[in-house]
Chain A
Amino acid sequence: MAADAKSLLNGRKTAHVETEAEELRKEHLMLDPMPRDEMNDMVMEAMTTTTKTYWVWVIGFGIAVAVLLFGAWGYMIATGMGVAGIRRPIYWGIFIVTFVFWIGISHAGTFVSAILRVFKAEFRRPFTRAAELMTTFGLAAGAIYPLVHLGRVWVFYWMIPYPNARWLWPNFRSALEWDLLAITTYLLSSTIYLFLPLIPDLAMARDRSTGIRHFFYKTFALGWRGTEAEWTRLRKAIGIFAFAIIPVMFSVHTIVSWDFAVGQVAGWHSTIFGPYFIIGAILSGVSAVVTILYVLRKTLKNMDYFIRLEHFDGLGKLILIFSMAWAYFFFNEYLLSWYGGEAAVKQVLTLHATGPTAWVWYLMLICNVAIPWLFLWNKKVRRTPWLMFIITLLVNVGMYAERYTIIPLTLGHQRSPFDWGIYNPTIVEVSIALGTLCLFIFLYLLASRAIPLVPVWEVQEGQMAHSIRKVGKTEVPSVTELE
């Protein structure tokens, strides 16, 4: 009788333990290992499956890029900047707004990939590449704007420092020159940072493809075999990059903020602009990662295995934290500008909050503060992908509104009331802005079928380091430091 009771108890206990471990496995990708060949096949399948709908989207976005971006831009080059809505005193309009927006988006990849890598946040593993792609394409979309907004784009190369017949070197005291250097540095380094961890995955794809794809992967895999020396130098290089690219990322958005902060324009000349912009950039970037992950999960095959609710949950927490940090910086900037009491600055602040375009300012506060704070504390919301999709889209709408407030709305209301003006974007400007959005989506669509979007070796490495460990009466995930 006693023995029976004991075995019964034991049986119940093991059954209970099993479900606990199962739950852990369901929750965490790292605890739910799958044989590497199956994972490879899943990623290869996701990469090579192209439906008719996919090609319709690709062609659609391709045409949109050609017409909206290059068509409108070409028209503007041929006619003059006047086809944009800018006028005195608002010399920068939504070209610069969208430029700052894209540079902000591009902070996502580095943040997710480098900072989370340095701090060994394990949940980053499956989506580092998706985020790095955003960085590269976001920068590609953003880097177009410094060209688009030039009055004489055909001589843009006069900004580049090289010995020339004019005997003239660029002005290294100009924030725009810093922009050129910083964006070049960031674009090159983020592209390399995307490429380095991709090499082993390209080798994987090389082993399982034929024809043109095989040629492409073989070329770019650089003859990767996976020897110890290759892994060692890859690890060293990724290590250098992960640490070095973080200050580069900070410098890029700081310099973008300096485009404004070095000016004497009331409302721009603020010492807190650097960190304020960085936080805003990370907020919008991480939000965009969630948006993209939702779309990838919906449209790419086998992605529900790699992208799980835990990732939406984790990123949702980050967004909440960065929304709070953004609010802190915003308030800091606002309070001290207001307290300073400079008449022109006060006028600008009053205009933002009560002027005819005050809705932009309130939209910013609602989307960047109210919505994340109201919803993201809730675990259920963070684990509902479609809700996260909507929230993160709204956060980016709010961030766009923030840049819009800072640039044209501030420029329009400067020190001399005689020169006050308002600005309405024209169809050409809106078309170019939408065109770069299409360019981003177009590049992403192509890349999603051209390169393995999940870093399989990193996922496997993570899964090998994770195990479920029994502590007392429960089972918990445990991580082994393999590196």
Chain B
Amino acid sequence: MDTSIRLILFKEDQINQASDAIETLHNQGIHDKDISVISGVPFTEKMLGRPMAWTRVPLIAISGAVVGFIIASLLNFLTPNLYKMYVGGMPLTPIPTSIVVTFELTMLGLLIATFLGVFVEMISPSYGPKGYHPKISDGYIGILFSCPAHIEEKTCLELQDLGAEMVDPEEVKQP
């Protein structure tokens, strides 16, 4: 079946029309996985009636914190035993000072992993139709959808009725 990727644009204050447009697409039998919403400011999925986007960032962050905690524990309780040195009448592995190191390294792990999570997810392949238009960063809400050829004309007309600005498929490309 022949499909083409189309992009329609709404102004930032036309959020209601944009959500209606998504409903129209649904009615035309276009699934959520064939639709991508791109925007210059964040909108929640609930506003647009879309399924929640998933992200593993919190999970990756927690894993990073665990790694940091383990490294901190090794540094605190293993390394002093490798080469025993006594200072200032303190025990070899005092708990109070180890808390400081544990805190810092756990946080370091958490925060670096958060960033790595974002970074890895950003550069990994994403689902949904690809495409971009510079007007998005002007605050437009863009709806990308792959449209089967036989309903394309009808859909486009309906969307235009909602006030959508149709973008020439030639202009829709990756940034």
B39 within 8 A of A: yes
Task: Tell me the chain B residues, 72-128 only, with Cβ under 8 Å from chain A.
Answer: 75-76, 79-80, 82-83, 85, 87-88, 90, 94, 97-98, 100-101, 103-105, 107-108, 110-112, 114-115, 117-119, 121-123, 126-128
Q: Is the CB of B122 within 8 A of A235?
A: no
Segment from B51-59, B146-154, B160-168 that makes contact with A: B51-59
Please, which residues of chain B bring their CB within 8 A of the CB of A221?
Answer: 175
> What distance in Å separates the Cβ of A40 from its nearest Cβ neighbour in chain B?
6
How long is the Cα–Cα vector from A230 to B13 in the complex, in angstroms? 21
Q: Is the CB of B115 within 8 A of A230?
A: no
Chain A interface size, as a band, is 35 or more
B169 within 8 A of A: no
How long is the Cα–Cα vector from A200 to B136 in the complex, in angstroms? 10
A23 within 8 A of B: no
> What distance in Å separates the Cβ of A212 from its nearest Cβ neighbour in chain B?
17
Q: Is the CB of A232 within 8 A of B108?
A: no
Q: Is the CB of B55 within 8 A of A229?
A: yes
Q: Is the CB of B100 within 8 A of A255?
A: yes
Q: Is the CB of A192 within 8 A of B111?
A: yes
B174 within 8 A of A: yes
Segment from A146-154, A244-252, A361-369, A379-387 that makes contact with B: A244-252
Please, which residues of chain A bring their CB within 8 A of the CB of B4?
Answer: none
Partner of B104, one of A182, A200, A232: A182
Segment from A170-178, A265-273, A415-423 that makes contact with B: A170-178
Q: Is the CB of A172 within 8 A of B50?
A: no
Please, which residues of chain A bring their CB within 8 A of the CB of B80?
Answer: 169, 172
> What distance in Å separates the Cβ of A108 from its nearest Cβ neighbour in chain B?
19
Chain B interface size, as a band, is 35 or more
How long is the Cα–Cα vector from A57 to B136 in the complex, in angstroms? 36
> What distance in Å separates the Cβ of A5 from its nearest Cβ neighbour in chain B?
38
Question: Given that A40-B138, A200-B137 are known contacts, is A173 also in contact with B44, CB under 8 Å in the complex?
Answer: no
> What distance in Å separates the Cβ of A250 from its nearest Cβ neighbour in chain B?
10
How long is the Cα–Cα vector from A245 to B103 in the complex, in angstroms? 12
Please, which residues of chain A bring their CB within 8 A of the CB of B114?
Answer: 192, 237, 240-241, 244
How long is the Cα–Cα vector from A218 to B121 in the complex, in angstroms? 17
> What distance in Å separates the Cβ of B103 from its nearest Cβ neighbour in chain A?
6
A208 within 8 A of B: yes
How long is the Cα–Cα vector from A456 to B82 in the complex, in angstroms? 53
Q: Is the CB of A171 within 8 A of B83?
A: no
Task: Tell me the chain A residues, 211-267 only, with Cβ under 8 Å from chain B.
Answer: 218, 221-237, 240-241, 244-245, 247-248, 251, 255
How long is the Cα–Cα vector from A321 to B108 in the complex, in angstroms? 31
B12 within 8 A of A: yes
Segment from A47-55, A183-191, A295-303, A406-414 that makes contact with B: A183-191
Q: Is the CB of B137 within 8 A of A207?
A: yes
How long is the Cα–Cα vector from A195 to B112 in the complex, in angstroms? 12
How long is the Cα–Cα vector from A247 to B37 in the complex, in angstroms? 35
How long is the Cα–Cα vector from A248 to B40 in the complex, in angstroms? 31
A181 within 8 A of B: yes
Please, which residues of chain B bring their CB within 8 A of the CB of A188?
Answer: 108, 111-112
Question: Given that A173-B94, A226-B38, A228-B53 are known contacts, is A178 also in contact with B101, CB under 8 Å in the complex?
Answer: yes
Partner of B42, one of A169, A231, A244, A245: A231
A155 within 8 A of B: no
Please, which residues of chain A bring their CB within 8 A of the CB of B119?
Answer: 222
> What distance in Å separates the Cβ of A113 from its nearest Cβ neighbour in chain B?
14
Partner of A169, one of B39, B79, B103: B79
Q: Is the CB of A464 within 8 A of B12?
A: yes
How long is the Cα–Cα vector from A230 to B120 in the complex, in angstroms? 12
Residue of B nearest to A166 (CB): B83
Q: Is the CB of B87 within 8 A of A173?
A: yes
How long is the Cα–Cα vector from A221 to B118 in the complex, in angstroms? 12
B9 within 8 A of A: no
Please, which residues of chain B bring their CB within 8 A of the CB of A200?
Answer: 40, 137
Residue of B nearest to A221 (CB): B175
How long is the Cα–Cα vector from A36 to B9 in the complex, in angstroms? 14
Q: Is the CB of A228 within 8 A of B45?
A: yes
A168 within 8 A of B: yes
How long is the Cα–Cα vector from A169 to B43 in the complex, in angstroms? 49
Please, which residues of chain A bring their CB within 8 A of the CB of B44?
Answer: 482-483
A21 within 8 A of B: no
| Residues of B bordering A, CB below 8 Å | 12-13, 36-45, 48, 50, 52-55, 57-58, 61, 75-76, 79-80, 82-83, 85, 87-88, 90, 94, 97-98, 100-101, 103-105, 107-108, 110-112, 114-115, 117-119, 121-123, 126-128, 132, 134, 136-139, 142, 174-175
Given contacts A195-B115, A227-B36, 18 further A-B contacts (CB under 8 A): A36-B138, A169-B82, A172-B79, A181-B100, A188-B111, A192-B111, A226-B136, A226-B137, A229-B53, A232-B52, A233-B122, A240-B61, A241-B111, A244-B114, A457-B41, A457-B42, A461-B41, A482-B43
| 25 sampled A-B residue pairs with Cβ under 8 A | A35-B139, A36-B41, A40-B137, A161-B75, A168-B83, A169-B80, A178-B101, A189-B107, A196-B118, A199-B122, A206-B175, A207-B137, A208-B134, A218-B175, A226-B136, A228-B36, A228-B45, A229-B54, A236-B55, A241-B111, A241-B114, A244-B111, A247-B107, A460-B139, A464-B13
The 6 closest A-B pairs by CB, nearest first: A36-B139, A169-B79, A207-B134, A204-B137, A233-B55, A189-B111
| Residues of A bordering B, CB below 8 Å | 35-37, 40, 161, 167-169, 171-173, 177-178, 181-182, 184-185, 188-189, 192, 195-196, 199-200, 203-204, 206-208, 218, 221-237, 240-241, 244-245, 247-248, 251, 255, 457, 460-461, 464, 482-483
